Amino acid sequence: MNAITMTNLTKKYGDFLAVDDLNLTIGQGELFALLGVNGAGKTTTIKMLSCLIKPTGGDAVLLGNSINTQPQAVKKLINISPQETAVAANLSVSENLELTAGLYGQNKKSARQRAEEVINQFGLEGMQKKKAKHFSSGMQRRLSLAMALITDPQILFLDEPTLGLDVLARRELWASIRALKGKVTIILTTHYLEEIEALSDRVGVMSKGKLTAIGTVAELREQTGTSKLEDAFVILAGGRV
Amino acid sequence: MRILLFAKRNTKEVLRDPINFFFGLGFPLVLLVLLSIINASIPPEANNPMFTIENLAPGLAMFGTVFMALFAGMLLSKDRTTSFLMRLFTSPMTPKDFIIGYTLPMLALVLPQATITFLAAGIWGLEITANLLPAIIVTTITSLLFIGLGLLAGSLMNDKAVGGLCGAVLTNVAGWLSGVFIPLDLIGGVFKKLANILPFYHSVQGIKTVLGGNISDSLPHLLIVMAYTVAVFLLAVIAFRRKMSGGKA
| B78: chain A residues, CB-CB within 8 Å | 89
Find out whether A193 and A185 touch, Cβ atoms under 8 Å: no
Q: Does B246 touch chain A (CB under 8 A)?
A: yes
Write the burial class of residue B190 (CB in 10 Å: 0-12 exposed, 13-18 middle, 19+ buried): exposed
As a whole number, the mean pLDDT across chain B is 91
Alpha helices, DSSP H only, in chain B?
2-15, 18-21, 27-41, 53-65, 67-81, 84-89, 95-123, 132-156, 159-162, 170-177, 184-187, 189-197, 199-211, 215-244
Q: How would residue B247 be classed by pLDDT, with cut points 50, 70 and 90?
A: low
Span A172-202, pLDDT tens digits: 888 888 988 899 999 999 888 999 999 999 9
Is A100–B91 a contact, with Cβ atoms under 8 angstroms apart? Answer: yes
Is B5–A102 a contact, with Cβ atoms under 8 angstroms apart? Answer: yes
| A91: chain B residues, CB-CB within 8 Å | 9, 12-13
pTM: 0.89
**Cβ count near A32 (within 10 Å):** 21
| Phi, psi (deg, nearest 5) at residue A206 | -110, 140
Q: In whole angstroms, what is the distance from residue B166 CA to residue A184 CA?
A: 44
Cα angle, residue B211 at apex, residues B209 and B213 outer, rounded to 5°: 70
Mean pLDDT of A219-231: 90
Most confident of A120-124, A131-135, A138-142: A131-135
Q: Could you give the count of Cα atoms lying within 13 Å of B108 in the half-sphere of its Cβ?
A: 15
Q: Does B71 touch chain A (CB under 8 A)?
A: no
pLDDT at A173: 84
| Phi, psi (deg, nearest 5) at residue B51 | -105, 20
| B249: chain A residues, CB-CB within 8 Å | 52
Domain boundaries, chain A: 2-84+153-236
| A75: chain B residues, CB-CB within 8 Å | 90-92
Distance from CA of A226 to the nearest CA of B (A): 38
Has residue B249 got a pLDDT over 50? Answer: no
A2-84+153-236: what fold? Rossmann fold (3.40.50)
Asked whether this complex has an ipTM greater than 0.90, the answer is no
Span B127-150, pLDDT tens digits: 999 999 999 999 999 999 999 999
CA distances from residue A150 to A143, A173, B161 in whole angstroms, order as listed: 10, 16, 34
Span A30-53, pLDDT tens digits: 999 999 888 899 989 999 999 999
Has residue B248 got a pLDDT over 60? Answer: no
Q: Does A82 touch chain B (CB under 8 A)?
A: yes
Find out whether A209 and A38 touch, Cβ atoms under 8 Å: no
Which of A1-15, B41-55, B124-138 is predicted with the least confidence, judged by mean pLDDT?
Answer: B41-55
Q: Does B90 touch chain A (CB under 8 A)?
A: yes
Q: Does A169 touch chain B (CB under 8 A)?
A: no
pLDDT at A80: 93
| A87: chain B residues, CB-CB within 8 Å | 82, 84
The number of C-beta contacts closer than 8 angstroms across A and B is 79
Write the burial class of residue B129 (CB in 10 Å: 0-12 exposed, 13-18 middle, 19+ buried): exposed
Q: Does B84 touch chain A (CB under 8 A)?
A: yes
